[in-house]
Structure 1
């Protein structure tokens, strides 16, 4: 294992589109949205309806609504 990080050793889930490796199958699944264009996470705030491919991007977006409500 000389010369290789333990992180790269653990990356064993391969994206068949771009050959990028991931340590977790869930991370690979989220990455695949970048290839498919799938946006499974929808903002339900007052019928906003904006969609995101990554849950953390939805959470960041929802903070906009929370700030608007606080005004």
Structure 2
């Protein structure tokens, strides 16, 4: 995957997770309620973490060594 595709996927998964978070807030669903939405958020978070890791790898390979603080 290239940088653009990974960034698009990160944005897409972030929007999906944010949609669920806002829906739960609107419904005043308590955090301890492990409903279908909760498990969907967990799955989205795991997938987002994978793409974030891939994004970091792409950045590291594109930029010179030592570009991170």
Give TM class, smaller chain: 0.3 to 0.5
In our comparison, the structure showing a higher alpha carbon Rg is 1
Q: TM-score, normalised by structure 1?
A: 0.33
Structure with more of its chain in helix, by fraction: 2
Structure with more of its chain in strand, by fraction: 1
- Higher RCO (CA-CA < 8 Å; seq separation 6+): 2
